[in-house]
């Protein structure tokens, strides 16, 4: 019986599913520098020219925030991101803005701390940041999630401008086009929210312009391209919606093909952000499939599959073959490696061997492919011959070549 108790509690220890495991933030480039949220929840700066981390540039300077799931966003001289951790079911999240030059908070003391999970990418419009949250832990009667508008100006008296309660947790992050922000929830609701500086708004909830009910939870990011929204859900579907033709709340059955909208059956959960180029939408799924979909009709052109989950969006890049270059997708695999897939027919063209799972989006910078692997390393490869050129441990800063 003691053995049973022991095994039970060993099992509990193995399945501490309440604390995030480090996240899957990918690198973003600004000039010669890359910025990445590491697996401790620090935002770190990597000098691509020297191949070293800048140890003096790190936020927070002490313990990390826990986990960072989204890429940082660079606007002008500043960079914005989020991170969180949970101890049991008490979560501590932080939304922060830093000076690119110094790595210090633009709000003086630090970021905006909220007792919540902060997973998705921040959206930016002018001086306002937009963030989606889960329930706020110290608000017992609060909503299951919120859309926050945050004043990003350094001299802001109050950081939170306003917020709107959502119908569920939000992991999707915020996409912004013009004066409209888009955010989705785990209840499967996509919100279009007026984020203009209008003074005639009596209640923040009046800013909701319309909603759309998808079949399943929307966990992944939303892509906004030329007035169209592209996203997937855990109902195994990918969607294209036309922003201009929407004004009222609607649901799956009301997708209007006359406005170029469509729903694609992906047969597996879609978490990664759809990628669009030259009239083709690339939808990736958690069962390792990539579907190339005709943007105008929503019909499938080809599909391919790799080993492992595709959690983050693939990256489009030019692959050199002799004297010619061909367009390809660098697809991160949650099992191992980054796979090179032809955009023409989905053929496997090669592989960037990471020997580690990859759940973040790879970055192409100066003819190199940079990958944040799930063990916390940043590895970079030649785009032309796919050989590894370097590796640095994003926690300690040491080389791991």
Number of residues that bind another protein (CB under 8 A): 42
DSSP 3-state of 360:
coil
Binding residue for another protein (CB under 8 A) from 257, 267, 296, 366? 267
Task: Rank residues 163 and 359 by Cβ distance to another protein and give the closer one.
Answer: 359
Binding residue for another protein (CB under 8 A) from 164, 218, 219, 329? 219
Nearest Cα to Cα of residue 71 among 62, 81, 63:
81
Q: Interacting stretch for another protein, rule CB under 8 A, among 26-34, 52-60, 147-155, 213-221?
A: 213-221
- Smallest distance from the beta carbon of 198 to another protein, in angstroms? 34
Binding residue for another protein (CB under 8 A) from 145, 173, 235, 362? 235
Query: How many angstroms separate the most distant Cα atoms in the chain?
Result: 70
Task: Rank residues 191 and 271 by Cβ distance to another protein and give the closer one.
Answer: 271
Dihedral angle at the C-alpha atoms of 27, 28, 29, 33, nearest 10 degrees? -50
Place of tokens 């008490």: 90
165-168 LR contacts (CB < 8 Å, sep 24+): 165/205, 166/132, 166/191, 167/143, 168/144, 168/217
CA dihedral sign of residues 215, 234, 222, 173: positive
| Per-residue binding letters, 72-111, with another protein (x by CB under 8 A) | --------------x-xxx---------------------
Token output for 343: 């955009």
| Per-residue binding letters, 27-56, with another protein (x by CB under 8 A) | ------------------------------
- Smallest distance from the beta carbon of 48 to another protein, in angstroms? 28
DSSP 3-state of 258:
helix
Task: Rank residues 17 and 199 by Cβ distance to another protein and give the closer one.
Answer: 17
Binding residue for another protein (CB under 8 A) from 113, 127, 287, 300? 287
| Per-residue binding letters, 161-180, with another protein (x by CB under 8 A) | --------x-x---------
CA dist 206 → 163, 184, 233, 298 (Å): 11, 17, 26, 33
Binding residue for another protein (CB under 8 A) from 35, 57, 69, 191? 69
CA dist 36 → 145, 185, 331, 364, 372 (Å): 26, 25, 19, 14, 8
Give the end-to-end CA distance of the chain in Å, rounded to a whole number: 49
Does position 11 interact with another protein (CB under 8 A)? The reply is: yes
Task: Rank residues 103 and 362 by Cβ distance to another protein and give the closer one.
Answer: 362
Query: What are the strands, taking DSSP E only, across 133-199?
Result: 145-151, 160-166, 174-177, 180-184, 189-194
Give residues 342-381 in contact with another protein (rule: CB under 8 A): 359
CA dihedral sign of residues 157, 66, 308, 287: negative
Does position 271 interact with another protein (CB under 8 A)? The reply is: yes
Binding residue for another protein (CB under 8 A) from 286, 313, 363, 369? 286
- Smallest distance from the beta carbon of 17 to another protein, in angstroms? 5
Does position 213 interact with another protein (CB under 8 A)? The reply is: no
- 384: CB partners within 8 A, 6+ apart: 319, 320, 367
Token output for 186: 């785990």
Does position 311 interact with another protein (CB under 8 A)? The reply is: yes
- Smallest distance from the beta carbon of 258 to another protein, in angstroms? 26
Task: Rank residues 72 and 74 by Cβ distance to another protein and give the closer one.
Answer: 72
The answer to whether 358 and 332 have CB atoms below 8 angstroms apart is yes
Characterise 222 by phi-psi region: left (phi > 0), alpha (psi -120 to 50), beta (else): beta
Does position 9 interact with another protein (CB under 8 A)? The reply is: yes
Binding residue for another protein (CB under 8 A) from 18, 49, 198, 344? 18
CA dihedral sign of residues 161, 23, 330, 401: positive
- Is the backbone peptide bond immediately before 60 cis, with ω within 30 degrees of 0? yes
Q: What is the contact surface with another protein in residues (CB under 8 A)?
A: 1, 4-5, 7-9, 11-12, 15, 17-21, 23, 69, 86, 88-90, 119, 140, 169, 171, 186, 215-217, 219, 234-236, 267-269, 271, 286-287, 309, 311, 334, 359
């Amino acid at each position: 019986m003691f053995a049973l108790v022991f095994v039970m509690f060993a099992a509990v220890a193995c399945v501490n599913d309440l604390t995030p495991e480090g996240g899957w933030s990918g690198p973003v480039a600004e000039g010669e520098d890359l910025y990445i949220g590491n697996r401790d929840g620090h935002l770190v700066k990597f000098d691509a020219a020297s191949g070293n981390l800048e140890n003096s540039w790190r936020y927070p300077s002490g313990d990390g925030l826990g986990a960072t799931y989204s890429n940082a966003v660079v606007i002008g001289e500043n960079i914005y991101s989020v991170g969180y951790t949970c101890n049991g079911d008490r979560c501590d999240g932080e939304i922060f803005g830093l000076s690119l030059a110094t790595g210090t908070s633009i709000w003086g003391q630090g970021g905006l701390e909220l007792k919540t999970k902060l997973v998705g990418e921040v959206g930016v419009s002018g001086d306002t940041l937009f963030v989606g949250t889960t329930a706020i832990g110290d608000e017992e009667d609060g909503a299951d999630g919120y859309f926050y508008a945050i004043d990003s100006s350094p001299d802001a008296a109050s950081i939170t401008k306003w917020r709107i309660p959502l119908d569920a947790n939000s992991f999707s992050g915020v996409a912004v086009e013009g004066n409209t922000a888009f955010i989705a929830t785990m209840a499967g609701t996509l919100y279009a929210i007026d984020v203009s500086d209008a003074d005639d708004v009596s209640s923040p909830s009046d800013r909701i312009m319309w909603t759309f009910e998808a079949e399943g939870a929307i966990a992944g990011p939303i892509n906004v391209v030329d007035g169209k929204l592209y996203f997937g859900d855990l109902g195994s579907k990918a969607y294209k919606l036309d922003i201009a033709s929407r004004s009222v709340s609607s649901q799956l059955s009301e997708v209007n093909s006359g406005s170029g909208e469509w729903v694609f059956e992906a047969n597996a959960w879609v978490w990664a952000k759809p990628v669009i180029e030259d009239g083709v939408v690339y939808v990736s799924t958690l069962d390792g499939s990539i579907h190339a979909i005709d943007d105008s009709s929503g019909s499938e052109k080809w599909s391919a599959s790799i080993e492992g989950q595709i959690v983050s969006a693939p990256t489009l890049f030019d692959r050199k073959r002799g004297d010619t270059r061909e367009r390809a997708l660098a697809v991160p695999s949650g099992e191992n490696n980054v796979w090179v897939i032809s955009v023409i027919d989905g053929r496997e063209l090669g592989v960037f061997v990471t020997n580690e799972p990859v759940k973040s989006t790879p970055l192409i910078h100066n003819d190199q492919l940079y990958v944040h692997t799930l063990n916390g390393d940043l590895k970079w490869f030649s785009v032309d011959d796919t050989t590894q050129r370097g590796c640095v441990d994003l926690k300690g800063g040491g080389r791991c070549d």
